[in-house]
Amino acid sequence: MALRLATRPAGLWVYDVEPAPLAELEAAGATAAGSVAELAAAVDLVCVMVRDDEQVRDVLGQVLGAAHDGLTVAIHSTVAPATPRQLAITAERHGVRLVDAPVSGGAMGAADGTLAILVGGSDEAFAACAGPFATLGSHVVHAGPVGAGTRMKLARNLVHFVAFTAVTEAQRLAEAAGLDLLELGRVVRHTDAVTGGPGAIMHRATTAPVDPDDFWFDVLGHVRALGEKDLRLATELADDLGIDVPLARLALERLGPGLGLPTTTPPDHAQEGTDE
């Protein structure tokens, strides 16, 4: 992310506790500060990317010790839900604006500037970050007030890591069935790139029950019918092979209600269709 920012005409000040990243960034044209306070005194926007809440609080304390009018701080670290608001209150006492701006997209997105950046903060603070954030990401979202960015990141990562856990079940099932796990991985990545993966069903603005007259009732009913059929077949295979697949069994129980559909799927929604 810092290497991306180093390409901006406005220039970049950087600080790290390790010398190697600073040397790399200096070679890219950035100016290395001797401390967090020196960096904060020299810039209008401080972007903080550290490991956890404790480190974020430590860095912000050093920033606020050198605070000046017009300073904005962006917290990119994923922290506890209550932390951004607490930090914003502290920053405001020093005349500093603060946004929580966690990112999604991994090292690949950071390298090519295609991150999703999920921003919580005031309109004024969001505007102060807009230019640099456009260099870092291709999808910048003003999620709401301070804390909204973090809450959105936690919801997004819930999908990520529950899916990873489901993958471990699928791998055990596939291995027991004598399948090539590397080829299965290639199939999953290929089809997710085509269909959009789990995000393919995220088109409603509410989780309320779906009205039968709603366009999405038939669409999600079809998803449910296919999903329940395939989950039953997968759990039957797991039973035959002696493989424990608790997430698959939970998904079979909760898929329909989670989609907002009635407990019993109407017969016309149970027809066979094209599987993903």
> Hey, which residues are catalytic here?
153
Q: Around Cβ 63, how many Cβ atoms within 10 Å?
A: 23
Tokens of 69: 């009018």
Of 93, 101, 94, whose CA–CA distance to 117 is shortest?
101
DSSP the chain: -HHHHTTSTT--EE--SSHHHHHHHHHTTPEEPSSHHHHHHH-SEEEE--SSHHHHHHHHHHHHTT--TT-EEEE-S---TTHHHHHHHHHHHTT-EEEE--EESHHHHHHHT-EEEEEES-HHHHHHHHHHHHHHEEEEEEEESTTHHHHHHHHHHHHHHHHHHHHHHHHHHHHHTT--HHHHHHHHHHHHHHH-GGGGG---S--SPPPTTSHHHHHHHHHHHHHHHHHHHHHHHHHHHT---HHHHHHHHHHHHHHT--SS--GGGSS-----
Q: Which helix (H) or strand (E) holds 90?
A: helix 83-93
Distance CA 276, CA 269 (A): 16
Output DSSP code: residue 210.
P
Tokens of 97: 């604006």
